[in-house]
Amino acid sequence: MVNVVGASCKCCEMLQEKQQIQVMEAIQNHEILSGKGLNQETSLKRAGDTCWGSHYGTLMSMISMFTTIVEVLELIIEDGVSLDQRGEANNLFELMQSFHFVFCLFLMKSILGITNELSQALQRNDQNIVNAMALVKACKQQLQIMRDSG
């Protein structure tokens, strides 16, 4: 998805423009708050291969920009540069409309949200082994509770 929507400057600009319009409408309708540090300009974050926190960031940006991403995919389907780009955008569009995709998106958000806290804590320089083991235990407990509650 990041590769298709973020493939060109034109697509990135469309995504930013549509997201900006959506945020402005939400602020006007009092659906979200405005103020210092809120509703900053966002983009789709590319996940890194080794840092799990980047995957969590990608999921969070996908969730917050879901409607905008769908709109941009629709535009790519109609006006894409190549047949391959239009086909890939169409496949992604159909996939994003499925229950399975949305369910997995939110499931992974929950799982990586729990493990992201642990990951952030373990990357701190002042972390000691006793505290780290307590954090691992707490993370395992949260994941087990999630698993048990279905």
**Could you read off the pLDDT of 2-54 as tens digits, one per residue?**
666 666 667 777 777 777 787 777 778 877 666 555 445 455 555 555 566 67
The set of long-range contacts for 85-94, using a CB threshold of 8 Å and a minimum separation of 24, is: 85/4, 85/7, 88/4, 89/4, 92/1, 92/4
Other CB atoms within 10 Å distance of the CB of residue 109:
16
Which pLDDT does position 111 carry in this prediction?
92
Which pLDDT does position 33 carry in this prediction?
65
Residue 148 pLDDT > 60, yes or no?
Answer: yes
* 53-76 tens-digit pLDDT: 678 888 888 898 898 889 888 988
Residues 6+ apart with CB under 8 A from 89: 4, 73, 76, 77, 80
Which has the higher per-residue pLDDT, 101 or 44?
101
> Lowest-pLDDT range, 10-14, 77-81, 87-91?
10-14
**DSSP 8-state class, residue 124:** -
Which pLDDT does position 39 carry in this prediction?
47
- CA–CA dist 72, 57 (Å, integer): 20
**DSSP code string of 44-112:** PPPPPSS-HHHHHHHHHHHHHTHHHHHHHHHHHHHH-SSHHHHHHHHHHHHHHTSHHHHHHHHHHHHHH
Which pLDDT does position 137 carry in this prediction?
94
